[in-house]
Amino acid sequence: MKKPWFNASPKRMTPLLLLLVLAGGCIKVDSTLDIASDGSGTWRVVYAIPLHMIQQMEMTQGVGRQLEGAGGAKAPVLVNRMQDIPYLFDEEAIRRRFKPLETQGVLLGKVQIRSSGGWRNVDLAVKFTRVDALLRQPFFDSLGAALSGAGTAACKLSVSLPEMGPPENLPDPLDPVVSAKISPFLNGMRIVSRIGVPGDIRNTTAVSSDGRRATWEWDYDKDPRALSRLARDKMVIVFDASQTRLRDFSKAALTE
């Protein structure tokens, strides 16, 4: 029997759940991916966590490095998972992270970091020459992605979300006892993902769309089932790509 997420080992957890469990707090991520007709485009992501969580993350990283130095086998998992987007909150570290990606056509533009109301906010703007090159970067390892039917009027873009285990292993957010235990970890959690495509949208699993951009949202404060939906949702857009130069691609989610 698989362990429920709150009893899982750090190696089995997604980066988001690992952060929530270790730091005990909320995270906000707002991502907008716009794809042009030639497969290039822009990615803007704004992410934020409370300042006290950054301190706890730094403490966890420090302990992890000490364990790694002493030969602790699990230390690299704890440290490496928290050294990538969206868990970097230092401009120099962020620019250092993106620098090697320039040869792959992934270029970091604006980086804005500010603290307000007890939160640390990071705003990144990225340009890319090929969307598949962007999605193959390590900070998207936990996502599966595929584009099929390029050049047709029924092109399909599908993005699978990070694996959280079987839905039956997730806590029931409507159970008062369970809710009292998990709410401190999930209150304030809000994840918004937008994908813009270079053709009219024919069909989508998004909660809303405006012709060429689809939006998905998982907000725990609005919907206690947000975590359960994250475990089963898939972002899918079927759109008209007959006037584009997109290319089919596929990448599997990295599982450990």
10-residue averages of pLDDT along the chain (256 residues): 45 49 66 98 94 73 55 50 78 95 96 92 97 94 94 96 59 60 67 96 95 92 77 91 97 80
Q: Is residue 40 part of a domain?
A: yes
Residue 34, domain extent: 5-251
| Helix (H) or strand (E) segment spanning residue 98 | helix 91-98
Q: Is residue 105 part of a domain?
A: yes
Q: Please, what is the end-to-end C-alpha distance for the chain in angstroms?
A: 17
Which residue from 230, 216, 228, 233 is spatially nearest to 173, judged by alpha carbons? 228
Q: How far is C-alpha 153 from the chain's CA centre?
A: 29
**Whole-number pLDDT of residue 167:** 52
**Whole-number pLDDT of residue 54:** 78
Q: Concatenated DSSP letters for 9-26?
A: -TTTS-HHHHHHHHH-S-
Burial class (CB within 10 angstroms; exposed 0-12, middle 13-18, buried 19+) of 27:
buried
Q: How many structural domains compose the chain?
A: 1
**Whole-number pLDDT of residue 203:** 97
Which residue from 106, 113, 67 is spatially nearest to 91, judged by alpha carbons? 113
**Whole-number pLDDT of residue 228:** 72
Global confidence as pTM:
0.80
| Helix (H) or strand (E) segment spanning residue 79 | helix 75-81
* DSSP H stretches of helix in 107-217: 131-135, 176-186
Q: How far is C-alpha 101 from the chain's CA centre?
A: 18
Q: Is residue 151 part of a domain?
A: yes
* Whole-number Å distance between alpha carbons of 120 and 175: 32
* Whole-number Å distance between alpha carbons of 124 and 94: 9
**Whole-number pLDDT of residue 225:** 75
Token pair listed for 85: 């987007």
- What are the φ and ψ backbone dihedral angles of 178, each rounded to 5 degrees? -65, -45
SS3 116: strand
* Whole-number Å distance between alpha carbons of 170 and 247: 37
**Whole-number pLDDT of residue 21:** 46
Token pair listed for 148: 């099929």
Q: Is residue 256 part of a domain?
A: no
Q: Is residue 83 part of a domain?
A: yes
Q: Is residue 144 part of a domain?
A: yes
The CA distances from residue 182 to 116, 130, 188, 189, 233, in Å, are 26, 39, 12, 12, 21
